[in-house]
Structure 1
């Protein structure tokens, strides 16, 4: 069984993201697509960005020693306050925040009267029995 739960959350996100990319490809060209970032004007450029960031993130996670999970990341937030968080807290936040966006995509799909991608963690074979 995979006991690297941080990695598992990212694996989950990547699997669901791939399903969403497949889902987006099925939408007919007549349906409106809105992307706010100038560099990512089409689905292919978004998929390429996702692939690039997945490679970098996976490399980081695979080379991160679990003993460093309790290292502290200090930064300044949007309000100008100095904040400190454990590495593991930041990594888990990133993974869980993507789940939030998966939910947003599900709402968008339903607004288009389309069946959303299942976000079910169970059955993705992330944990081998």
Structure 2
């Protein structure tokens, strides 16, 4: 599972690089579908990732807002910091951790850590699909979502 997080982060970094070629207007422009802009999509992905991990750790939610990252450079920096935190989190994950039940404050439902981590992986992949649609609307090649040919770290623990 950690390898799929590495995959998502690698694809996210490639999207950040891709977005560096966009005008500021295109990066922030409200579009149809999803979170409505490249900027809002990245902000949303970072917020959801952080919120779920804090819930797993039993900590209060600290929503990420535009005040935390208002530019592409700030999003990239925030993403890098979160990846470091999540990698630290993964070093402590055991098979027992994956079966623990989490009850986030924003829902009345409870989920296993395993299901939450799977959700985070699928959630990012879902939103990358929206970025790809917008890229094509701009007549640009989207970032490749190919998993097979990527060089990813081996995280065979779980």
Given that 1:8 and 1:126 are in contact with CA atoms closer than 8 Å, whether structure 2 keeps it comes out as yes
Output the TM-score relative to the length of structure 2.
0.68
Offset of 1:95 from its aligned partner? 1.3
Normalized per residue, the structure richer in strand is 1
Q: 4+ runs of 1 displaced by more than 3 Å?
A: 75-78
- Post-superposition Cα deviations, 1:81-104, rounded to whole Å, max 9, x if no partner, equal x21111100011011101111111
Cα distance between partner residues in 1 of 2:67 and 2:136: 26
Bigger relative contact order, structure 1 or 2 (CA pairs below 8 A, ≥6 apart)? 1
Give unpaired runs (5+ residues) of structure 1: 1-5
Q: CA deviation at 1:125?
A: 2.4
Larger radius of gyration between Structure 1 and Structure 2: 1
Residues 1:33 and 2:59 aligned together: no
- RMSD across aligned C-alpha pairs, in angstroms? 1.9
Aligned residue-pair number = 119
Which structure 2 residues correspond to residues 52-91 of structure 1 after superposition, within 5 A?
A: 52-78=81-107, 82-91=108-117
Q: Which blocks of at least 5 consecutive residues in structure 2 are unaligned?
A: 29-38, 41-65
